[in-house]
Structure 1
Amino acid sequence: MSAAVPAPATAEPIVVPVALAERSYDILIGRHQLCEAAETIARRFPGARAAIVTDENLAALHAPALESCLHRVGVTTTRLTVPPGEASKSYARFIELCDGLLAAKIERNDLVIALGGGVVGDLSGFAASVLRRGVRLIQIPTSLLAQVDSSVGGKTGINSSHGKNLIGAFHQPALVVCDTALLDTLSEREFKAGYAEVVKYGLIDDAGFFNWCEVNWRRVMKGGPERDHAVATACRAKAAIVARDEREDGDRALLNLGHTFAHALERLTRYDSTRLVHGEAVAIGLCLAFRFSQRLALCSGQDAERVARHLASVGLPTRLQDVPGAAGTAAEIVEAMTQDKKVKRGALTFILAHGIGKAFIAPGVATEAALDFIESELAGA
């Protein structure tokens, strides 16, 4: 599918503000928003040049359309590309990207535009955070996962052999544009993986939204107004949490529901997207978080089963046995968890739940309890 000639916007975008005082910005959500985004960029950042960072697949799919729209409103662009996949969130690609931006003479008043999924957004954002001690960033996420999660909130970073996203910085974007029509080009697997992050917001503190997802998930997949509603609801939820706790000193950690398990699984599968992509790891992690909560007598088995049933109905993995090539031993999984960013003085912190829409931060969970739970999960208990 070619996006060289952008379609006109089908409606005015939904605007979700992220209230962070002098670092406040808007999230614009709707179908066919690329050219409208270009006009917004030209109006809000007059005279700025733009470096578009994208991956090698999207360079042909969406970059020409964005460049055409920007050129039409007088914005000069440079394009830099990175290989697709989690492996690009590395020291080597980070250095290469920084050097490329410097070679393009991107200045502090110019723009880095991240056109891609979470990998491009995280890598570009980290580069923008340090380039000339801080360059303005615009996120144009092209995956569902990035639209509802990684593009919003200012977390940027790369991976280490010790774990995921362990090197990075907080660097809020100046604008986020969620063109939901771009999601039409995703594979079914990628879209479903992103959907796990949508459901997460209902599980954290919005049981009504989880109910809505159970009824409407097929329409979200098809791309009608339900898709825009789902993206906007998720973005509003994240914006509210980020506004309260920008740097994850408190309840922003709730956004990591399922992620302590997920990041460990990604590390153990060596970030091999042919085996497991982030959203699939999150789906397993969400189910594990609820089953662990059930095991600790914190929530009902009915809620844990309901979460797993919904994710399975969408076609997402729900158990450790669903990881191709095996997830690893219980000891290996717990060891991988000890590199989680929420670990404090060696003690594990989980996001657990008293039920659907009732997540909470659980610091100081005993390693033995986690190990025993994972052993039982691997045994199929």
Structure 2
Amino acid sequence: MSAPQFDPAAYLAQLEEKKNRLIALLAPFAAPEPEVFDSPREHYRLRAEFRLWRENEERFYAMFAAGDKHTPILLDDFPIASTRINDLMPRLKAAWQLSSALSFKLFQAEFLTTLAGDGLITLCYHRPLDEHWQAAAQQLATELGVSLVGRSRGQRLVIGRDYVVEELDVAGRTFSYRQPEGAFTQPNGAVNEKMLNWAFDALGERQDDLLELYCGNGNFTLPLATRVRKVLATEISKSSVNAALANLADNNVDNVTLVRLSAEELTEALNEVRPFRRLQGIDLKSYQFGSVFVDPPRAGMDPDTCELTRRFERILYISCNPETLAANIAQLHDSHRVTRCALFDQFPYTHHMESGVLLERR
């Protein structure tokens, strides 16, 4: 990750530019003006990773400008990162400076934190990790009050847990989420909470069923499941599936069936192109789907999956790439119209933005 251009004084102007860009992209579809959900100006990012740069026998946290891997930007703190990360950075640096077991061939440090205050640090090495590292890491984890993961080629040693626990409030209910080390999580917790509440409101109270594609660790699944009769959710990542299953159990959400299939595979199953063993025991025809929720990767939905969503009365779509969102809407525009639109500023001081639309059948 490259260092963003951190300038709180310019934040509102940048947010207005994003809003105008989204309006322009969705103008061909007569979309309403987007609801805009801003970000905290600093300490909003819950995860960060740093390369370690060595100068004069000392290691520093380093980041690099886009396209330049040779000129480090040395850091003592990182104002866009959570206060928890900023508290941990100097304490971790002091620890590795005092311990060769921790510092020898250490090349990267990754932080994962939560709004709820949990923390996990991953340390990456160009060497095998032995009992001396484990003893030092155990002491460090205790001193910092975090879990710690050591990684080297063919090794992954866990001190404590390999996940953090987040708590997010949606419509008056607090949901608990396990967020695994190395798996995708929303980086901006405050904005993620706003996204969840917007999606919860946009879906509304329903008496039918929901299909969810790309469900990840169940970030949206948990609150949306309380709005419908039952949910069929899909995800291809094994670590995300395991986290989602744990999150469903931890929150006593019992109306969700989760299958490890890609969106493309589920499309084939619903179109009866071919059967899948992972769907054994699941009667797809028993579902009365009224809505589909999608949160695809940056490439958006492939044409077949996009065509699948056309079957539903309501398409609730969260996107991390407004260009592919617009391309998908273009495919659906003849049958569905955009009735709600939102901009979620997950990534301040960058050109990236998260957006959401509700499409309803004409």
Please identify which structure carries the higher helix content.
1
Greater C-alpha Rg: 2
Greater relative CO, 1 or 2 (CA 8 Å, sep 6+):
2
